[in-house]
Amino acid sequence: MSARSTPKKKVMKKKVLAKRSIKKSVIKQIIKPKVLGKVEHYYDRIGVAIVKLIAPLSVGETVLFRHGEHSVEEHVESIQLNHIQVPTGKKGEIIGVKVHQKICDGSLVVPKK
């Protein structure tokens, strides 16, 4: 009896693992939004969020700053790179974005759908 139950358990474990891997890939594709960048620091006196970009960001876009359950919607009106006004930020750049609400350090920047 124990010889029969052992192979069934192994088969069931393989099926469960296969289901888990499918669920993770579906979650990554559907639920997880495209991330544009991450807030490195927020200067509260001047209202500027320092963002390290992992995708391009342009002036005129509307983005969400998400930190856990908290999210803040902002319209990108100004982007600066090394204290110089630029129309777009490229992947890999660290930019300053003028914001009107307080943003937490470590917040993810995602596009608003």
Instruction: Name which of 113, 28, 111, 31 is nearest 65 in CA terms.
Output: 111
Residue ranges, the chain, pLDDT below 70: 1-33
Q: For the chain, which residues make up each domain, given as ranges?
A: 1-32, 37-111
Q: For 37-111, CATH number? A: 2.40.30.10
Residue 52 pairs with which residues in a beta bridge?
A: 38, 94
The pTM score is: 0.70
Instruction: Name which of 68, 70, 71, 64 is nearest 97 in CA terms.
Output: 64
Instruction: Name which of 54, 57, 49, 63 is nearest 87 in CA terms.
Output: 57
The reported pLDDT for the residue numbered 44 is 94
